[in-house]
Structure 1
Amino acid sequence: MSPVFPPLREELQGIEPYGAPQLSLEQAPVQLNVNENPYGPSPEATADIARAVGEAAVSLNRYPDREFVELRTALAAYLDTSGGTGVTAEMVWAANGSNEVMLQLLQAFGGPGRVALSFAPTYSMYPEYARDTMTEWVAGHRAEDFSLDLDAARQLVLERQPSVVLLPSPNNPTGTALPPEAVTMLCEAAASYEPGGLVVVDEAYGEFRRAGTPSALELLPRHRNLVVTRTMSKAFALAGARLGYLAADPAICDAIRVVRLPYHLSAVTQATALAALRHAPELLGRVDDLRAERDETVTWLREQGFEVADSDANFVLFGRFADRHAVWQGLVDRGVLIRETGPDGWLRVSVGTPDEMAAFRQALLDTIDTTEEPA
């Protein structure tokens, strides 16, 4: 028998790579499937980014600042005005998207004989981070309304003693935010066994949370084992720049240095992110518009008889459908691309411009007329 080629790790054989469906604008003019900000950078921000990248290009023959001190300082200043208290550059780490931040956390704190834990439904990449770092993956379950049963969650943490607990807030794909007491309870539980575990609150969509919904950044002074991750891909409208970051105890940032690749943040990435942070108010200026559009979408979907998850993000999970793929395909056939993800029977739509959301609403009504009513 001929050997298998290439000699891929056995547990990876036959697995399809992660990725949302990608269609051209000709196939689907309305793209509402990967939670992008539909409003691009302003001309002023674009010009500043271009200037900064041009300046960086002059010295591209040299390696970038390995510690990206200027960027960490700027990110700390932003976080200090975005829910954090006393965040310093030593408490900040960044990488190529929050995906790489998460992978580095699992590389440093997971591994063989260790456990990573979350509560389903949750971000579909988490088990892949665990798999790629040979960390055992354990998934508890959320309540019917996608909230956490705090007693059950605490019991599972104490039982499995994970090295890393991954808690998106707002949760992807449901949009559900965590109350502070949930974060505190799980941080205390993860600190109660040896050698203890980290609680990672993934706030990729944190800037979109509703008024009165606190950020886990506020809890950093209380819990040394708390990590809060953010991204510039969503609210900052910089998905193409690939810049994610975290805030945590400086000792956690120091530990990540052991597993990071040399010079992992390019000079171009650093220059782009720094320029964007200089324009934070204008780049974040459409967040309120997107929140309002999200809330209007939730209300409209419920008026049509759909079940809709409460959302603090820039997307909405709705259902339930006996054949969600048929509904998804019907929308694609009408030029609207959303995401077939989450629990069976549910679909997720990103919040776009008013015109895009109007197109989505009409396409959904037309599709339901020819397929099915909500289950």
Structure 2
Amino acid sequence: MAEQSPRSGLGALLREDLRGETAYGAPQLSVRAALNTNENSYPVPDEVVADMLAELAAELPGLNRYPDREFTALREALAAYLSRGGTPVEAGQVWAGNGSNEVLLHLLQAFGGTGRRAIGFTPSYSMHSIIATTTATQWIAGKRSDDPARLFTLDPESVAAQIVSADPNIVFICSPNNPTGTAVGLDVVEAAYAAAPGAVVVVDEAYGEFARAGTPSALTLLAGRERLVVTRTMSKAFALAGGRLGYLAADPGLVDLLRLVRMPYHLSTQSQAVARAALRHADLMLSTVGVVKEQRDRLVTELTRLGYAPVPSDANFVLFGGLADAAVTWQALLDRGVLVRDVGIPHYLRVTAGTPEETTDFLEVLAALGPEHLLDRGEAN
């Protein structure tokens, strides 16, 4: 589903390590149920839209001037939001960018590069490896458990051993993980940090607000760990994917180093204004999280009933296996107006938890496809 690399003679001018690669890209199609990119299906509430418009109206006359390079008010608002979880976070610990991908890019620009290595535990968020490649950072694909009883999970011992072997400069851990939905315990993060005394350890918590009760955040580990970074986004739980605002929390000293690689005035006045308004209405913006989690759990239950093998999820999506041919099922669903994600794992697809109506639509269409789309259990291994 990715866009193709250049085919013309210009390709010969491309960096050698990028030749033959494909650009990241998820289909953006006009369908009845778009459940492929883990967006929040609920629109921004009218009350918040009105506040955003008021905030923008106050800022627009001043667009002849550059935006606040330090996005001070936004960092203060993000720190206050993170602190609501019970772990105090100061504005000096916060950094933001145009989506969490830009924040990840800043980290790799600062701590990766030629002759340096990054490790992540696959399957995981594909942009970690893609951004590593674009910054000339060697990517090492660590492994998750393939034990059916602990499928796609990580344990402290395995993570530590793989990190010691790789000797990386950057470690990526996704929790909840994309595309599997699995979260990790804090013991995994602690083991990774201890095993990598010369590395920055990045815990990607883009889906953190959707985690099941009792799932810990790595924010609680920040104190005393100057190499630990926790990344978040406003794209998912805040239903602000189009706003492009991602952020991180880390030691102030590490945050200060990111100023060396950011572009001048990288966060526009408009982006800062929209994000501040959304954060003022955090409770309202997050009011759909509970409904989305209900639909996620409903997907797990109903997919199991239909004979598929969903992975327990702490995110706003479900990865489900048991498919005879994932590509065939993906196309069959699309032909009937339902768009899900083929993440490249044989016999698996990923579906976003949308509105109750979208969930019903997906489940009814999938059920109507019939048992021929199910993998013969005897062929599963």
Range into which the TM-score falls when normalised by the shorter chain:
over 0.9
Q: Deviation digits for residues 196-255 of structure 1, max 9, x if unmatched?
A: 101100000000000011111111114221100000000000000000000000011111
Question: Which residue of structure 1 lines up, in the alignment, with residue 55 of structure 2?
Answer: 52
* 1:16 Cα deviation from its structure 2 partner: 2.1
Give the one of 65, 68, 77 matched to 1:65: 68
Question: Which residue of structure 2 lines up, in the alignment, with residue 229 of structure 1?
Answer: 231
Question: Which residue of structure 2 lines up, in the alignment, with residue 315 of structure 1?
Answer: 317
For 1:53 and 1:374, how far apart are their aligned partners in 2? 52
1:121 equivalent in alignment to 2:123: yes
**SS at 2:20 equivalent:** coil
1:374 equivalent in alignment to 2:375: yes
CA RMSD of aligned residues (A): 1.2
Question: Which residue of structure 2 lines up, in the alignment, with residue 171 of structure 1?
Answer: 177
* 1:159 Cα deviation from its structure 2 partner: 1.8
For 1:309 and 1:374, how far apart are their aligned partners in 2? 16
Question: Which residue of structure 2 lines up, in the alignment, with residue 182 of structure 1?
Answer: 188
Check the 8 A contact 2:205/2:232 in 1, yes or no: yes
For 2:22 and 2:193, how far apart are their aligned partners in 1? 34
Q: Deviation digits for residues 52-108 of structure 1, max 9, x if unmatched?
A: 11211110110000000110000000000035x221000000000000000110000
* 1:13 Cα deviation from its structure 2 partner: 2.2
Q: How does 1:235-246 map to 2 (within 5 A)?
A: 235-246=237-248
1:22 equivalent in alignment to 2:28: yes
Q: Once the two structures are aligned, what percentage of the paired residues are identical? A: 53
Q: Deviation digits for residues 267-316 of structure 1, max 9, x if unmatched?
A: 00000000000010000011011111111110111111111111000000
**SS at 1:58 equivalent:** helix
Task: Provide structure 2 residue ranges, at least 5 long, that are not aligned to the other structure.
Answer: 1-7, 377-381
Q: Give the structure-1-normalised TM-score.
A: 0.95
Opposite residue 72 of structure 1, the aligned amino acid is: R
Give the one of 149, 152, 155 matched to 2:158: 152
**SS at 2:76 equivalent:** helix
For 1:13 and 1:73, how far apart are their aligned partners in 2? 42
Question: Which residue of structure 1 lines up, in the alignment, with residue 4 of structure 2?
Answer: none
1:40 equivalent in alignment to 2:40: no
Question: Which residue of structure 2 lines up, in the alignment, with residue 361 of structure 1?
Answer: 363
For 2:208 and 2:129, how far apart are their aligned partners in 1? 22
Give the one of 94, 100, 103 matched to 1:101: 103
Once the two structures are overlaid, the 10-residue window that deviates more, 340-349 or 102-111, is: 340-349
For 1:327 and 1:304, how far apart are their aligned partners in 2? 14
* 1:127 Cα deviation from its structure 2 partner: 1.0
Check the 8 A contact 2:238/2:286 in 1, yes or no: yes
For 1:372 and 1:77, how far apart are their aligned partners in 2? 48
For 1:306 and 1:372, how far apart are their aligned partners in 2? 10
For 1:203 and 1:5, how far apart are their aligned partners in 2? 38
Task: Provide structure 1 residue ranges, at least 5 long, that are not aligned to the other structure.
Answer: none
For 1:341 and 1:98, how far apart are their aligned partners in 2? 20
Q: Deviation digits for residues 122-153 of structure 1, max 9, x if unmatched?
A: 11111111101100100111002111132121
Opposite residue 79 of structure 1, the aligned amino acid is: L
Q: How does 1:243-282 map to 2 (within 5 A)?
A: 243-282=245-284
Check the 8 A contact 1:66/1:264 in 2, yes or no: yes
Question: Which residue of structure 2 lines up, in the alignment, with residue 143 of structure 1?
Answer: 145
* 1:160 Cα deviation from its structure 2 partner: 1.6
Question: Which residue of structure 2 lines up, in the alignment, with residue 78 of structure 1?
Answer: 81
Question: Which residue of structure 1 lines up, in the alignment, with residue 199 of structure 2?
Answer: 197
For 2:290 and 2:162, how far apart are their aligned partners in 1? 37
* 1:342 Cα deviation from its structure 2 partner: 4.6
Check the 8 A contact 1:174/1:342 in 2, yes or no: no
Check the 8 A contact 1:173/1:342 in 2, yes or no: no
Q: Give the structure-2-normalised TM-score.
A: 0.93
**SS at 1:134 equivalent:** coil
Structure with more relative contact order (C-alpha pairs < 8 Å, separation 6 or more):
1
Check the 8 A contact 2:155/2:188 in 1, yes or no: no
Opposite residue 122 of structure 1, the aligned amino acid is: S
For 1:221 and 1:31, how far apart are their aligned partners in 2? 40
Displaced runs of 4+ in structure 1, greater than 3 A?
none
* 1:365 Cα deviation from its structure 2 partner: 1.1
For 2:112 and 2:373, how far apart are their aligned partners in 1? 45
Opposite residue 251 of structure 1, the aligned amino acid is: G
